[in-house]
Amino acid sequence: MRVGVLAIQGNVREHKRHLARVGAEPVEVRRPSELSDLDGLILPGGESTTMSLLMEEYGLLQPLRERAQSRPFPIYGTCAGLILLATEVVGLSPARLGLMDIVADRNAYGRQVASFEMSLPIPVLGPDPFPAVFIRAPKIARMGAGVVALATYQGDVVMAEQGQYLVSAFHPEMSPDTRIHAYFVEKVRKARQAEGS
Ligand code: GLN
Protein backbone atom coordinates (compact mmCIF):
# COMPACT_ATOMS: atom_id res chain seq x y z
CA MET A 1 0.00 0.00 0.00
CA ARG A 2 1.48 3.29 -1.12
CA VAL A 3 0.39 6.11 1.18
CA GLY A 4 1.36 9.67 0.31
CA VAL A 5 2.35 12.37 2.78
CA LEU A 6 1.83 15.91 1.53
CA ALA A 7 5.41 17.23 1.82
CA ILE A 8 4.89 20.98 1.91
CA GLN A 9 5.13 21.63 5.65
CA GLY A 10 4.94 19.85 8.94
CA ASN A 11 6.23 16.58 10.34
CA VAL A 12 6.60 14.74 7.04
CA ARG A 13 9.42 12.51 8.26
CA GLU A 14 7.52 11.47 11.40
CA HIS A 15 4.40 10.57 9.40
CA LYS A 16 6.52 8.53 6.97
CA ARG A 17 8.18 6.71 9.84
CA HIS A 18 4.84 5.83 11.44
CA LEU A 19 3.43 4.66 8.08
CA ALA A 20 6.44 2.41 7.51
CA ARG A 21 6.06 0.97 11.02
CA VAL A 22 2.51 -0.11 10.28
CA GLY A 23 3.48 -1.75 7.00
CA ALA A 24 2.65 0.89 4.39
CA GLU A 25 5.03 2.36 1.83
CA PRO A 26 5.29 6.12 2.52
CA VAL A 27 5.63 8.47 -0.47
CA GLU A 28 6.31 12.23 -0.36
CA VAL A 29 3.85 14.21 -2.48
CA ARG A 30 4.40 17.67 -3.95
CA ARG A 31 3.29 17.41 -7.57
CA PRO A 32 -0.01 16.31 -9.13
CA SER A 33 1.85 13.60 -11.10
CA GLU A 34 2.82 11.97 -7.81
CA LEU A 35 -0.82 11.24 -6.98
CA SER A 36 -1.37 8.69 -9.71
CA ASP A 37 -0.24 5.48 -8.06
CA LEU A 38 -1.15 6.28 -4.47
CA ASP A 39 -3.72 4.41 -2.37
CA GLY A 40 -4.26 7.16 0.22
CA LEU A 41 -2.83 10.41 1.55
CA ILE A 42 -1.96 12.13 4.83
CA LEU A 43 -2.19 15.92 5.12
CA PRO A 44 0.13 16.84 8.01
CA GLY A 45 -0.28 19.79 10.36
CA GLY A 46 1.43 23.10 9.73
CA GLU A 47 -0.13 26.42 8.88
CA SER A 48 -3.24 25.97 6.79
CA THR A 49 -2.95 29.32 4.97
CA THR A 50 0.60 28.56 3.83
CA MET A 51 -0.25 24.99 2.93
CA SER A 52 -3.26 26.18 0.96
CA LEU A 53 -1.21 28.73 -1.01
CA LEU A 54 1.46 26.20 -1.86
CA MET A 55 -1.07 23.54 -2.84
CA GLU A 56 -2.60 26.05 -5.23
CA GLU A 57 0.81 27.03 -6.57
CA TYR A 58 1.77 23.39 -7.19
CA GLY A 59 -1.60 22.80 -8.85
CA LEU A 60 -2.53 20.14 -6.32
CA LEU A 61 -5.94 21.20 -5.05
CA GLN A 62 -8.11 20.34 -8.03
CA PRO A 63 -6.37 17.06 -9.03
CA LEU A 64 -6.54 15.88 -5.43
CA ARG A 65 -10.20 16.76 -5.12
CA GLU A 66 -10.99 14.94 -8.37
CA ARG A 67 -8.94 11.91 -7.35
CA ALA A 68 -10.84 11.61 -4.06
CA GLN A 69 -14.24 12.12 -5.68
CA SER A 70 -13.81 9.74 -8.60
CA ARG A 71 -12.21 6.68 -6.96
CA PRO A 72 -11.72 5.38 -3.44
CA PHE A 73 -8.93 7.50 -1.96
CA PRO A 74 -8.77 7.76 1.84
CA ILE A 75 -7.36 11.03 3.15
CA TYR A 76 -6.30 11.70 6.74
CA GLY A 77 -6.00 15.36 7.75
CA THR A 78 -4.24 16.22 11.02
CA CYS A 79 -4.57 19.69 12.51
CA ALA A 80 -4.02 22.09 9.57
CA GLY A 81 -4.90 19.08 7.39
CA LEU A 82 -8.29 18.98 9.13
CA ILE A 83 -8.84 22.60 8.07
CA LEU A 84 -7.91 21.75 4.46
CA LEU A 85 -10.48 18.93 4.40
CA ALA A 86 -13.34 20.95 5.93
CA THR A 87 -16.20 22.12 3.73
CA GLU A 88 -16.45 25.26 5.89
CA VAL A 89 -14.00 27.30 7.96
CA VAL A 90 -14.90 29.93 10.57
CA GLY A 91 -13.42 33.37 9.82
CA LEU A 92 -10.54 33.72 7.38
CA SER A 93 -10.83 30.61 5.29
CA PRO A 94 -8.07 29.39 2.99
CA ALA A 95 -8.71 27.69 -0.37
CA ARG A 96 -8.90 24.01 0.40
CA LEU A 97 -10.12 20.55 -0.59
CA GLY A 98 -13.46 20.95 1.22
CA LEU A 99 -14.28 17.24 1.06
CA MET A 100 -15.51 16.49 4.57
CA ASP A 101 -18.76 17.78 6.02
CA ILE A 102 -17.29 19.64 9.00
CA VAL A 103 -16.91 23.28 10.02
CA ALA A 104 -13.39 23.98 11.30
CA ASP A 105 -12.60 26.76 13.75
CA ARG A 106 -8.92 27.63 13.34
CA ASN A 107 -6.81 28.27 16.46
CA ALA A 108 -9.90 27.72 18.57
CA TYR A 109 -7.86 26.81 21.64
CA GLY A 110 -6.37 30.30 21.70
CA ARG A 111 -2.87 31.46 22.48
CA GLN A 112 -2.79 30.69 26.20
CA VAL A 113 -3.42 27.02 25.78
CA ALA A 114 -1.76 26.92 22.38
CA SER A 115 -0.13 23.54 22.94
CA PHE A 116 -0.76 20.68 25.29
CA GLU A 117 -0.56 16.93 25.54
CA MET A 118 -3.16 14.67 27.08
CA SER A 119 -4.25 11.05 27.38
CA LEU A 120 -7.18 10.80 25.02
CA PRO A 121 -9.63 7.89 25.08
CA ILE A 122 -10.29 6.73 21.49
CA PRO A 123 -12.63 3.72 21.74
CA VAL A 124 -11.97 2.46 18.16
CA LEU A 125 -8.29 1.99 19.08
CA GLY A 126 -8.96 -0.15 22.14
CA PRO A 127 -8.97 0.47 25.90
CA ASP A 128 -5.62 2.31 26.22
CA PRO A 129 -5.83 6.10 25.78
CA PHE A 130 -3.80 7.78 23.05
CA PRO A 131 -1.05 10.32 23.89
CA ALA A 132 -2.50 13.24 21.91
CA VAL A 133 -0.37 16.34 21.22
CA PHE A 134 -2.35 19.50 20.40
CA ILE A 135 -0.48 22.43 18.79
CA ARG A 136 -2.54 25.55 18.03
CA ALA A 137 -5.26 23.05 17.27
CA PRO A 138 -8.43 23.79 15.36
CA LYS A 139 -11.82 22.75 16.70
CA ILE A 140 -14.60 21.06 14.82
CA ALA A 141 -17.33 23.64 15.38
CA ARG A 142 -20.07 21.61 13.67
CA MET A 143 -20.32 18.40 11.73
CA GLY A 144 -22.82 16.94 9.28
CA ALA A 145 -25.06 13.95 9.96
CA GLY A 146 -22.76 11.60 8.01
CA VAL A 147 -19.74 12.35 10.20
CA VAL A 148 -18.87 10.00 13.07
CA ALA A 149 -17.12 11.29 16.20
CA LEU A 150 -14.21 9.05 17.25
CA ALA A 151 -12.92 11.07 20.21
CA THR A 152 -14.00 14.07 22.24
CA TYR A 153 -12.13 16.36 24.61
CA GLN A 154 -13.95 18.77 26.94
CA GLY A 155 -17.11 18.40 24.90
CA ASP A 156 -15.44 19.01 21.53
CA VAL A 157 -15.00 16.37 18.86
CA VAL A 158 -11.23 16.11 18.22
CA MET A 159 -11.18 13.07 15.92
CA ALA A 160 -13.84 12.12 13.36
CA GLU A 161 -14.42 10.23 10.15
CA GLN A 162 -16.80 10.35 7.22
CA GLY A 163 -16.44 7.42 4.85
CA GLN A 164 -12.91 7.59 3.45
CA TYR A 165 -12.02 10.80 5.27
CA LEU A 166 -10.41 10.90 8.70
CA VAL A 167 -9.40 13.97 10.71
CA SER A 168 -7.81 14.73 14.05
CA ALA A 169 -7.25 18.11 15.68
CA PHE A 170 -4.06 16.73 17.27
CA HIS A 171 -0.74 15.40 15.96
CA PRO A 172 -0.54 11.58 16.14
CA GLU A 173 2.95 11.51 14.59
CA MET A 174 4.46 13.25 17.63
CA SER A 175 4.06 10.30 19.96
CA PRO A 176 5.54 6.83 19.50
CA ASP A 177 2.03 5.32 19.39
CA THR A 178 1.29 4.15 15.83
CA ARG A 179 -2.33 3.02 16.34
CA ILE A 180 -3.93 5.91 14.48
CA HIS A 181 -1.65 5.37 11.47
CA ALA A 182 -2.55 1.67 11.61
CA TYR A 183 -6.25 2.60 11.75
CA PHE A 184 -5.85 4.83 8.69
CA VAL A 185 -3.82 2.27 6.74
CA GLU A 186 -6.57 -0.28 7.41
CA LYS A 187 -9.03 2.19 5.86
CA VAL A 188 -6.70 2.44 2.85
CA ARG A 189 -6.48 -1.35 2.57
CA LYS A 190 -10.29 -1.68 2.62
CA ALA A 191 -10.71 1.05 0.01
CA ARG A 192 -8.21 -0.68 -2.27
CA GLN A 193 -9.97 -3.99 -1.80
CA ALA A 194 -13.34 -2.37 -2.61
CA GLU A 195 -11.90 -0.87 -5.77
CA GLY A 196 -10.39 -4.17 -6.87
CA SER A 197 -13.58 -6.19 -6.43
N1 GLN B 1 -4.24 26.40 13.61
C2 GLN B 1 -3.28 26.17 12.58
C3 GLN B 1 -3.81 26.69 11.22
O4 GLN B 1 -4.69 27.45 11.16
C5 GLN B 1 -2.97 24.70 12.47
C6 GLN B 1 -1.97 24.33 13.52
C7 GLN B 1 -1.30 22.97 13.28
O8 GLN B 1 -1.44 22.35 12.22
N9 GLN B 1 -0.51 22.53 14.24
O10 GLN B 1 -3.28 26.33 10.21
Look up the CATH superfamily of 2-196.
Class I glutamine amidotransferase (GATase) domain (3.40.50.880)
Please determine, for residue 114, whether its predicted confidence score (pLDDT) is greater than 90. no
| pLDDT tens, position by position, 23-82 | 999 999 999 999 989 999 999 999 999 999 999 999 999 999 999 999 999 999 999 999
Return the pLDDT at 111.
63
Helix, strand, coil share of the chain (percent; to 5) = 30, 30, 35
Asked if residue 117 has pLDDT above 60, the reply is yes
- Ligand 1: residue of 47, 55, 96, 113 to mutate (most ligand atoms within 8 A of CB) is 47
The answer to whether the beta carbons of residues 139 and 108 sit under 8 Å apart is yes
Residue 113 scores a pLDDT above 70 = no
d(CA 152, CA 166): 14
**Cα-to-centroid distance, 78 and ligand 1 (Å):** 9
Q: What is the pLDDT of residues 128-172, one digit of tens each?
A: 999 999 999 999 999 999 999 999 999 999 999 999 999 999 999
Q: 135 alpha carbon to ligand 1 midpoint, in Å?
A: 7
Contact by Cβ (8 Å): 51, 11:
no
Domains in the chain: boundaries: 2-196
Contact, 40 vs 71, CB < 8 A?
A: no
Alpha-carbon span 4 to 128, nearest angstrom: 28
* 197 pLDDT more than 90: no
